[in-house]
Amino acid sequence: MTHAELTVAEAAERIRRGTLSPVALVEACLARIEALDEKLQAWVTVDRDGALAAARERDREATRGAIRGPLHGIPVGVKDIFYVGGLRCTAGSKVTADFVAPFDATSVARLRQAGAIILGKTQTTEFATFDPAPTHNPWKRGHTPGGSSSGSAAAVAARMVPCALGTQTAGSILRPASYCGVVGYKPTYGRVSRYGVFPVSWALDHIGSMARTVEDAALVAMAMAGHDPKDPGSLRAPVPDLRACLARRDPPRLGVVRDFFWEKAAPEVARHTDQVLERLAKAGARIEERPLAPSFAVGHAAHRIVMKAEMAEVHRDRHNASAEKFGPRIRAGIEAGMLIGAPDYFHALRLRRQFAEDLWSLAATVDALVTPSTPTPAPEGLGSTGDPMFQTPWTFAGMPAVTIPSGFAESRLPLGLQVVAAPMRDAEVLGVAAWCERILGPIPAPPL
């Protein structure tokens, strides 16, 4: 196994024991980027000099036993809407192509405090919305890696970096993670601070992590989590030990949501998910079907109203100053959002309350809800990032969700299983996802 193939947990343990140098780990990641990124285009900025300097410092600290935290010496990719002090933060847009972040986002600062090394900035759709990034899916060039966290998912799958940050306003962590065959974790709304991250929608944005195992995704998220007075939506509740929950051995009680999800899934995705559930049942999981409440029917439409109205307000001044610099899809979304009146916006928020409460009640009846992660494998073509419809409900309701790789489509593109729990049950959803991960086993690296 090469250094670049190590998981976060494996690499961190070797660094603590003194059998792996952070410099060697960073150099291995940089070598993968140099070899592969011309074809995949997962990165906007690679901070080679900064990462190597930080690695040498982490190496000296480790040598004298001064381990900063659980991510000491671990390289991290950062989606290019997060501020990383001194690096460009383009947000995938001509509007901010030359903007240099003056400080670290809270999430980035906390990763550094835990010992992580910022390797660089990964590609995103424009302002994390609709206009695609140039990134290819590592499993099959010419297919989308998903979005908006396109580069983060592709970089982790291609073993360019062991973990990366993403954001989700509809389906932008779990969808690309599933398309690229890695783990994606979207915590409960407000669990991770959004300060220093370009917003899409204040009511909907979530910060999360991508990695190759549930344990790794939990480690990264736990390092970032916790109250931040600079983010009005930040939770004050204590952060549970997300890693401790991963040792769960008792089979979970899983609520299968066939309404909508099996109806919208492609036939091979529905068949595959049924086969996955059979494997989990044979391992002892209790599989129970759960119906959706009538309020689910309006959830997607209400989400679009809230997202577009807030997106329009986020970008109003930039649009008024230089509308022609925006991509066609985000510009259309901004201009549509400007037409949404206050009564429609507030009505959508009222609908959201009932929608969320119904989903929270549904999730509370089981250890976790499960669905296919996406309706299809990664679509061909880079003109679209795929459909977020299977993630949008949980994002709208602020619920923690995880996608784990569950196998392959006939095309040999990855498929995933989505695991969801009630708000504040992040430890439980990660524990269930880790249990399922052990039963299903890992998938190999992409045949690059």
Which amino acid is residue 385, in one-letter code?
T
Give burial (CB, 10 Å; 0-12/13-18/19+) of 179: buried
DSSP letters along 83-109, please? --TTSB--TTSSTTTT-B-SS--HHHH
Angle at 418 between CA 417 and CA 423, to 5 degrees: 155
Distance of alpha carbon 253 from alpha carbon 168, whole angstroms: 27
Distance of alpha carbon 75 from alpha carbon 59, whole angstroms: 13
Which amino acid is residue 70, in one-letter code?
P
- DSSP H stretches of helix in 283-419: 299-322, 328-338, 342-363, 392-396
Residue count of the chain, please give it: 448
For the record, the structure tokens of 382 come out as 């880079």
> Catalytic site residue 172?
yes
State the virtual CA torsion across 264, 266, 272, 274 in degrees, nearest 10.
Answer: 30
> Catalytic site residue 148?
yes
Determine how β-strand 75-79 pairs with β-strand 117-122. Answer: parallel
Distance of alpha carbon 33 from alpha carbon 29, whole angstroms: 6
Residue among 173, 177, 107 at smallest CA distance from 139: 177
The residue from 21, 79, 186, 234 that is catalytic is 79
Radius of gyration of the chain (CA): 20
Q: By the 8 A CB rule, do 207 and 224 touch? A: yes
The residue from 93, 107, 148, 152 that is catalytic is 148
With H, G, I as helix, E, B as strand and everything else as coil, classify residue 317: helix
Q: By the 8 A CB rule, do 34 and 48 touch? A: no
With H, G, I as helix, E, B as strand and everything else as coil, classify residue 141: coil
The β-bridge partners of 47 are: none
The residue from 21, 93, 149, 172 that is catalytic is 172
Q: By the 8 A CB rule, do 177 and 403 touch? A: yes
Distance of alpha carbon 95 from alpha carbon 127, whole angstroms: 10
With H, G, I as helix, E, B as strand and everything else as coil, classify residue 318: helix
What residues are annotated to the active site? 79, 148, 172
